[in-house]
C-alpha cells in the first residue's frame, strides 16, 4: 500500500523545504519514495521536486501539467499515485497549489 502525503499551504509557507526534509528522512529509513508537484500556479515547484528527488533517489512524477487548469490537478494526482504503486513506492509526497480543493485527490 502506498501512503499519500499532501502538502497544501499558502504561498511562501515552506512547502518545498518541508517536502525536502521529509524526503531526506524517509529515504534515510529505507522508505521507497515518489514525489509529485501539481502546483498549476508555480511551474518552478516541479523543477524543485525533481531536484529534491535526485539525492534521495526518489521517483519524481513529471506528467503533463497545464497552468491554471484545476482538472489537471486531479488527473495528475491519479496518474502519480498509479505510477507510485506500479514502481513499489511506500510513500507519495505531493505538492498541491494553495487554491486546490482537497476533494480532488480522493
Q: What is the pLDDT of residues 46-57, one digit of tens each?
A: 788 888 888 878
Which residues in the chain show pLDDT less than 50?
101-106
Lookup: cell for 48: 524543485
Q: What is the pLDDT of residue 96?
A: 74
Q: What is the pTM of this model?
A: 0.73
DSSP-derived pairing of the beta strands 91-95 and 59-61 = unpaired
Domains of the chain, by residue range, sit at 3-105
Residue-level length of the chain: 106
Helix, coil or strand: residue 2? coil
What superfamily would CATH give domain 3-105? P-loop containing nucleotide triphosphate hydrolases (3.40.50.300)
Amino acid at each position: 500500500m502506498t501512503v499519500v502525503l499532501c502538502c497544501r499551504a499558502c504561498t511562501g509557507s515552506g512547502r518545498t523545504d518541508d517536502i525536502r526534509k521529509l524526503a531526506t528522512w524517509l529515504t534515510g529509513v529505507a522508505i521507497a519514495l515518489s514525489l509529485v508537484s501539481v502546483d498549476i500556479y508555480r511551474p518552478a515547484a516541479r523543477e524543485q521536486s525533481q531536484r529534491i528527488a535526485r539525492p534521495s533517489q526518489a521517483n519524481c512524477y513529471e506528467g503533463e501539467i497545464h497552468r491554471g487548469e484545476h482538472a489537471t490537478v486531479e488527473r495528475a494526482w491519479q496518474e502519480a499515485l498509479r505510477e507510485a504503486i506500479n514502481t513499489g513506492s511506500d510513500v507519495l509526497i505531493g505538492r498541491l497549489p494553495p487554491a486546490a480543493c482537497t476533494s480532488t485527490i480522493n
